[in-house]
A and B are shown apart, each in its own frame.
Chain A
Amino acid sequence: MTPVIRLVDACRTFPGPPPVQALHPVNLTVEPGTYLTVVGPSGSGKSTLLNILGLLDRPSAGVYEFEGADVSELNDRSRTAIRAHQVGFVFQSFHLMPLRTATENVALAQLYAGAGRRQRMLDAGIALERVGLGHRRSSLSNTMSGGERQRVAIARAIVHRPSLLLCDEPTGNLDTATADGVLDLLDELHRDGMTLVVITHASEVAARGQRTVTIRDGRLS
């Protein structure tokens, strides 16, 4: 089976002065249906890795194959298209649009994928059901609790059935009980066959993964 992610000696250097080697050459393969957690303290290069995996950034050297295709040399436009169709992002601070309903926030994910408005709203409703928020469809996002907001954000990340779900500290802004709920949801998604990469600094979150890698000073181990 084609791996979702295959990094071969991928590294990232930020041009100086002085140049910073944020990510030392990395080799990483993630098979479909894998639940991978990346754990490391802040400033360890987690975000750099996530940006590369999410096609928001390009490796300075090395190869990144996404779904079997080399994407390290793709232009901005093509990488953007892959993000629109095949990658879902979950952020620490949710990043929902205030003054929009849960459904509208979720529907935003397919806005740039070329789906019609009716289809977007329909899919958004299904995704909200999936994350257990079917009853909150028309609630404004700024009237929701933190846990509910993160569930809406997860619904937004999965509504277009991406090949890869990237989560950046998904529980960082949540209390323990709520965080458990969100992590249970991620487990469920994994059981349904979703490929997950979760980045965290908390070892108890990392322990939920099928496989855990540690990153420290830009080196993966």
Chain B
Amino acid sequence: MTLRSRISWRDLGAEALAGLLQRPGRSALTALGTVLGVSAFVAVLGITGTAGNQIDERFTALAATQVVVEDVGPPDMPASEGSFGPDSSARVQALNGVVHAGVWWPVPAKKPSISAAYGVVTGTEDLRFLAVEDGALSATHPKLQQGRLYDRFHSERGERVAVLGAVAASRLGVTRLDGQPAVFVDERPYTVIGIVSEVDRLPEALFSVMIPLSTAESDYGMPEQAAAKMLIETRLGAATVVAEQVAVALRPEAPERFRVISPVSPRSLHDSVLGDVNLLFVLLATISLVIGAFGIANTTLVGILERTSEIGLRRSLGARRWHIGAQFIMESTILGLLGGLVGTSLGVITVVIVSLAQQWTAVIAPWIIFPAPLVGAAAGLVAGIYPAWRAAATEPVEALRRLG
């Protein structure tokens, strides 16, 4: 006798699905655990990914477009001679990707006493006196409260004009520019032509009286050794390349006289931020997924006790133990998969809503979305093992006895 009992995978799947649809309410409640687990998983990974990318963007916007060049000169450099030549900014401007560039240094005044009225110095000791090239000033993204910035015209003529930072202006009591007020530094008058209320770079500018380079050179001479710096703003993504080239562009014969500070690579920053935050939340999501799996296991087990007569019937119709077990495993796997699908959708919706509320761009990697339902299915599969084994072990005689 070569009789066999067998069932195709398709029929087995259909039976499992029918078993689930027979009790739709219970199936939905059972799947809820996986729904929550998977949606937590997707939402956590999605939100941290999104947030990570926003942090990234913020750094990118400022730091990633900034290159600072410091004068480290040879040790025996004479005090009066800086490494930056007079045409430094023109050389750097010629590099591809440079938006603004300019040199700045603290003016080496003998005893810098700054005041708004001749001879009266009070409460202005901590203000700074800077020589700032017009290109460097532009690179700080200054927001003018009043007046204007100085430009090449003022620089070339060595005009005694000054731009004040907002804090410096209020300390000095300069509130209006229509009377052409002057500030006195070491008893030299400088006409205030503008007040800057905000800068994105060079924050000390707000505490400073800033004058053109040539004015500073003619009034006070060259900067002290290694005090001069160059501020360069580049186009997005050009900073790394500019940083490589700038020292050679400035002094082809002695590029070692400069130290170039370029931004952190955005990639490494991104990764470190993401790595720290994720681990904890992924752990939490995993815990909720495990709880979801236990939910499936529990309900499936109860369901099997309830369906003993069905098991008995199927066994009498020629179902092998293996068929019974496979059907129940499939049921819980399908349940997990459905829960995973719904959970993934909910997770994505959560990420989108959070992103909308924060005005972020939602960023979810495909490697989170696509395997997420499978994670649910895997949870269902594992959860179904024990109940399915119990179902398969049910003796048909026992099961049929309960049939009545």
- Please list the residues of chain A having a beta carbon within 8 angstroms of any beta carbon in chain B: 47, 51, 54, 56-57, 69, 76-78, 80-86, 89, 91-93, 95, 97-100, 108-109, 111-114, 117, 156
Contact = CB atoms under 8 A, between A and B. Distances in A.
Given A51-B397, A95-B403, A80 B309 contact: no
A116 to B, nearest CB: 8
B317 A100 contact: no
Interface stretch (B2-10, B212-220, B335-343): B2-10
A84 B5 contact: yes
B243 to A, nearest CB: 69
Contact of A76 (B1, B22, B321): B321
B353 interface: no
A91 B400 contact: yes
Contacts of A77: 5, 320
Contacts of B320: 76-77, 80, 112
B128 interface: no
A98 B22 contact: yes
Given A76-B321, A80-B315, A95-B313, A111 B403 contact: no
Contact of B317 (A78, A84, A92, A98): A84
B5 A114 contact: yes
Interface of B: 1, 3-8, 10-11, 15, 18, 22, 309-310, 312-321, 323, 396-397, 400-401, 403-404
B11 to A, nearest CB: 6
B7 A56 contact: no
Contacts of A91: 313, 400, 403
A173 B316 CA distance: 20
B396 A56 contact: yes
B318 A113 contact: yes
Most buried by B among A54, A86, A112, A113: A112
A85 B3 contact: yes
Q: 7 tightest A-B contacts by CB? A: A84-B318, A84-B5, A112-B318, A81-B3, A112-B5, A114-B6, A83-B318
Most buried by B among A69, A77, A95: A95
A13 to B, nearest CB: 14
Contacts of B321: 76
Contact of B4 (A47, A76, A81): A81
Interface SS of chain B: helix, strand, loop or mixed? Answer: helix
B18 A112 contact: no
B15 to A, nearest CB: 7
A100 B323 CA distance: 20
B397 A80 contact: no
A130 B235 CA distance: 85
B105 to A, nearest CB: 86
B397 A56 contact: yes
Contacts of A100: 18
A85 B321 CA distance: 16
B16 to A, nearest CB: 12
B155 to A, nearest CB: 89
Nearest to B321: A76
Contacts of A57: 397
A72 to B, nearest CB: 14
Contacts of B18: 100
B9 to A, nearest CB: 13
A112 B316 CA distance: 10
Given A80-B320, A85-B3, A112 B314 contact: yes
Contacts of A109: 317
A134 B316 CA distance: 25
A112 B317 contact: yes
Contact of A111 (B15, B22, B312): B15
B146 to A, nearest CB: 81
Contacts of A111: 7, 11, 15, 317, 319
Given A76-B321, A114-B7, A56 B315 contact: yes
A81 B397 contact: no
Nearest to A48: B397
Contacts of A85: 3, 5, 318
A56 B318 contact: no
A92 B400 CA distance: 11
Contact of A80 (B8, B11, B319): B319
B5 A47 contact: no
A113 B404 contact: no
A113 B309 contact: no
A17 B401 CA distance: 20
Contacts of A114: 4-8
17 contacts: A77-B5, A83-B317, A84-B5, A84-B317, A108-B314, A111-B7, A111-B11, A112-B5, A112-B6, A112-B314, A112-B318, A112-B319, A112-B320, A112-B323, A113-B5, A113-B6, A156-B317
Contacts of A51: 397, 400
A80 B400 contact: no
Contacts of A81: 3-5, 318
B3 A86 contact: yes
A98 B319 CA distance: 19
Given A95-B313, A97-B310, A84 B3 contact: yes
A69 B1 contact: yes
